[in-house]
Chains A and B, each alone.
Chain A
Amino acid sequence: MTAAISLIVLLVLLGSSIAVAAGMGLTGLILNQLYSAMPLTRMLGELTWSTSSNFILTAIPFYIMFGEILLRSGIAERMYNALVQWLSWLPGGLMHSNIGSCALFGSVSGSSVATAATIGVVAMGEIDKHKYNERLFLGTLAAGGTLGILIPPSINMIIYGVMTDTSVPKLYLAGFIPGFVLTVLFSLTVLIACLWRPHWGGEKIATNWEARIRTLPDLIPPLALLMIVVGAIFFGIATATESAAVGIIGALAITAWRRRLSLAMLRDVCEATVRTTAMVVAILVGAFFLNVVIQTIGLTQQLSRLITAYQLTPVQILTAVIVLYLVLGTFMEELSMMISTIPITTPLILHAGYDPVWFGILLVLLIQTAMVTPPFGINLFVIHGIRGRGTLSDVELGSAPFVIALLIMIGLICVFPDLAMWLPRLVG
């Protein structure tokens, strides 16, 4: 009963287009009034301070800032052009470079929107030049962009890690192989499509070994940053936050080397970083408060009892959670979806005996799927916006094959949990 009322209150508030942060906070207040004699509101000050000064969470603004600097460093265009030389011989040509660039950029960026936007802007001019199937081309960018949060670093993994007390380095390690496999699956999707309909693959792009070798230096900066940012975590040299800080300095160094560093640029970086960070932190504050209220009124135990009473098997619970996310993901903004549901779904999944690191990866895959499923898929909007013509449904249709690839990946990780768990076990 409590669970039903809680959910209704939350859905009504969020549905009435109240800012998500306030909606979650007020749901907490209402539930507190209804079900608990303790005035939890008093904790709001302490909770806000401790949440927003949490050291692990500082990784979030650092990764955002890192991304903002990278964007202005000129790294993305050069990397893209180099990957064009190396990958465009495959049937599907540039579309493989799109996916490869997204994967490589995603392995230094912690955000899917940033990845899609950056590679999207760089790649969009190529559609007309080489007569690609436009929809599929757009799909590679929208779906490829989602790799940003699966391949470490990942802002979503940090949030999940902090909210569920799961090790962020372990999550990063766990995301690595699924990220690689999904990249290959995306490329296979293009390959199959272009073998089936060869004219979708556009005109061949002339290249030779000399040109390829010449572009190699352009791949060094992103690979070096990748080594610094991810390598440091893998080998236990630095924490996620520390490696992000090192990444910022590295990115600044590259920007300076490319002669793009200026005071105006730094000012823009600071402003953009704080704007995005505040948005995320506001939601986190609301969610942490709601989380405390939910725990105090015993909602999680109630749900667990419910599951025991109905004798649901772990597989049934998992299936229910996956379906829930696939449905919510179609219409809900992805970040809010993730933060507002973690306090409820994670305890259920852990109660059923699943590993928190493994579930973190599954959750990220589900969020990726949400990002490219209409009517609300943030990456669809981003790519449609960059294209600046045609209809949104072009991007939606173009992304559809990749949604299938994502669903296959979700199936794979459920059947072979070791895809995610092997690396963390090996290292940890």
Chain B
Amino acid sequence: MKRLQGLAAGIARVGAIAGGAMLLAAAVTICIDIFLRYAFSLTVGGADELSGYALAIASAWGFSLALLGRSHIRIDTVYVRVKRRRIRAMLDLLSLASFALFIALVAWHGWGVLQQSYASSSRSQSAIEAPLVIPQGLWFAGLAFCVAVALLLLARALVAFLKGDLATLFEAIGSKSAVAEAKEEITAVAHALGGNPGE
């Protein structure tokens, strides 16, 4: 199951990078749009719509990346005061289970949205009349993948819990302390600042 999680992390990362690339492309499109508007008084339109799709798709795929990286925000005021490790583990399981339930509901009803767009071959009400099935399909795929990741993590954590292997459980789904969170942020910033070996 650990390997499966590694695979999932790989897919999530690719999905996220693709989503980020879409956002970057959307930003470029918007700039071209603005340029044409002011330089040649041309209104192309549609850039705003495309960037909306990019956001929806990128965040749907990002949900699983954040889940695997344990970056979804949790209020750990009580959690950190619980001394018993088993109870902490139970809180982690509860948190993950409720997240899985929530994202599953979102995906379930998201499927409904997609199906309806397909049945009525909906197009966006705008200049580009994009068939909504395409962006919504990619969006739903992200949500569905996140449900799968959540279930995988839940299975892995449950097995670890039953075996009494709490270390594995915390590593997979434990709440990251805010201090640890801040440390990661800093490592990323320091890495980014010193990013260029050439200089």
Contacts and interface: CB of A to CB of B under 8 A. Distances in A.
A217 interface: no
B30 to A, nearest CB: 4
Contact residues of B: prevailing secondary structure: helix
Contacts of B136: 49
Contacts of B141: none
Contacts of B31: 245-246, 249
Given A25-B102, A72-B195, A274 B73 contact: no
Contacts of A121: 186, 189-190, 193
A156 to B, nearest CB: 14
Interface string B33-65: 010001000000000110111111011111101
Interface size on A, as a range, is 35 or more
A44 B106 contact: yes
Interface in B8-30: 13, 16-17, 19-21, 23-24, 26-28, 30
Interface string A47-65: 0110011110110111001
Interface string A232-271: 0000011001101110110000000011100001111111
Contact of B109 (A44, A117, A275, A277): A44
B151 interface: no
A301 interface: no
Contacts, number: 269
Given A71-B189, A259-B196, A259-B199, A241 B19 contact: no
A43 to B, nearest CB: 8
A271 B18 CA distance: 9
Given A238-B34, A286-B102, A378-B182, A20 B74 contact: yes
Given A17-B95, A48-B106, A274-B17, A279 B192 contact: no
Interface residues of B, number: 79
Nearest to B58: A274
A116 B198 CA distance: 26
Contact of A381 (B16, B51, B182): B182
Contact of B52 (A54, A268, A272, A274): A54
Contacts of A52: 55-56, 59-60, 139
Interface stretch (A206-214, A327-335, A397-405): A327-335
B77 interface: yes
B111 A45 contact: yes
A132 B180 CA distance: 27
A46 B98 CA distance: 21
A168 interface: no
B55 A279 contact: no
Given A275-B69, A278-B58, A48 B110 contact: yes
A246 B29 CA distance: 10
Interface of A: 13-23, 25-26, 29, 41-46, 48-49, 52-55, 57-58, 60-62, 65, 68, 71-72, 74, 76-77, 113-114, 117-118, 120-122, 237-238, 241-242, 244-246, 248-249, 258-260, 265-275, 277-279, 281-283, 285-286, 331-333, 335-336, 375-376, 378, 381-382, 384-386, 392
